[in-house]
Amino acid sequence: MGFPGTWMTESESVVYRVVPKCACSSIGQILYYSDHGRFFDGDIHDATEGLHKWSREESRAPITAAVSGHTAYAFTCVRNPYTRILSSFFDKIAGIQRNGRRYRGNLVPKLAQQYGVEVGSPEDGFDFDQIASFRRFLLFARDTIRFRKPMDPDIHWSAMAGHVGTFVANGGRFDEIVWTERFDEGMQRVVDAIETPVPIVLSEVPRFNESEGHGPKRAHPVEDYFDDLSRHLVWEIYHRDFKLFGYDFDDPSNKMPVRDIDLDEVHKVLGG
């Protein structure tokens, strides 16, 4: 299976397992800068040079060698499951994508027809019942993950443990797992642990949020979107994410981690 979703600097200083909706645009740009002394002009996900990616055929051999031999520092980044699934909804379902279209073509009309999800439009100022529509989307997300119907799960709302687990199950080992909520602190540990052609000063790195500004703003506090049934669905989908990455399931309003990540436990659970 190899190492899908894995990026590596061309200097092979560091390996990064991408987890969608977890600061991946900023991290990719930091890696790109660390080799070239400049940021990629555009969305780093579109870069076809300057950064090894598993999706590039010519990158697979060097990534495999670095990960299998653990010759490069390896890390990933995770996020509170409540805020991550909310972000997926507002970006991929309610928002307009960079190309000016809806995500995955007919996905939103299918959600409207089968699940009653409404998302509004730029013309009406994205005027819709955010809470009701999000809860219906959450039911859809659960169906895709649990039953693979009416479609296979999308990478933006499938569990983080699944993304991270492919890296571990195929022989990779992480040196660090960064929390999005403590991004500067975690990325500083990564930067301090590696040697790069170009020095990285994190305080001078801009934030790259490629999904911002293309859709509606969240109108309510996080906890308002999750009633008892919604929380049940969240636990069904993301229980391993809460357990492995130290997040608080009991309080959706608390996005911060409540306990440390045990790297040995992560490798034991996901490697089995």
Angle between helices 183-193 and 24-36 (to 10 degrees): 30
pTM: 0.95
Confidence of residue 81 (pLDDT cuts 50, 70, 90): very high
Gap between the Cα atoms of 89 and 98, Å rounded? 16
**Residue 266 covered by a domain:** yes
Confidence of residue 159 (pLDDT cuts 50, 70, 90): very high
Amino acid at 258: V
> Which own/partner contact pairs does 257-262 have at CB distance under 8 Å and 24+ positions apart?
257/80, 257/179, 257/181, 257/182, 261/177, 261/179
Q: Which residue has the higher pLDDT, 125 or 104?
A: 104
Least confident of 135-144, 171-180, 197-206: 197-206
**Residue 40 covered by a domain:** yes
Residue pair 85/95 in contact by the 8 Å Cβ criterion: no
**Residue 147 covered by a domain:** no
Residue pair 82/255 in contact by the 8 Å Cβ criterion: yes
**Residue 110 covered by a domain:** no
Share of residues in the chain with pLDDT > 90 (%)? 88
Task: Please count the other Cβ atoms lying within 10 Å of the Cβ belonging to residue 165.
Answer: 20
Q: Coil, helix or strand for 77?
A: strand
Task: Please count the other Cβ atoms lying within 10 Å of the Cβ belonging to residue 176.
Answer: 17
Amino acid at 8: M
**Residue 19 covered by a domain:** yes
Which residue range(s) make up the domain with 264?
Answer: 1-96+155-214+238-272
User: Per DSSP, what are the bridge partners of residue 14?
Assistant: 73
Picking from 200, 182, 189, the residue whose alpha carbon sits closest to that of residue 30 is 200
Q: Which residue is listed with tokens 């940021």?
A: 39
**Residue 223 covered by a domain:** no
pLDDT value, residue 98: 80
Query: How many folded domains does the chain comprise?
Result: 1
- β-pairing, 176-179 vs 73-78, is parallel
**Residue 63 covered by a domain:** yes
Gap between the Cα atoms of 236 and 147, Å rounded? 12
Gap between the Cα atoms of 202 and 219, Å rounded? 31
**Residue 225 covered by a domain:** no
Q: How far is CA 137 from CA 76, 82, 94, 119, in A?
A: 27, 13, 10, 10
pLDDT value, residue 25: 94
Picking from 21, 5, 39, the residue whose alpha carbon sits closest to that of residue 103 is 21
Render pLDDT for 5-52 as a digit per residue (tens, 0 to 9): 999 999 999 999 999 999 999 999 999 999 999 999 999 999 999 999
Render pLDDT for 202-219 as a digit per residue (tens, 0 to 9): 998 888 875 655 778 999
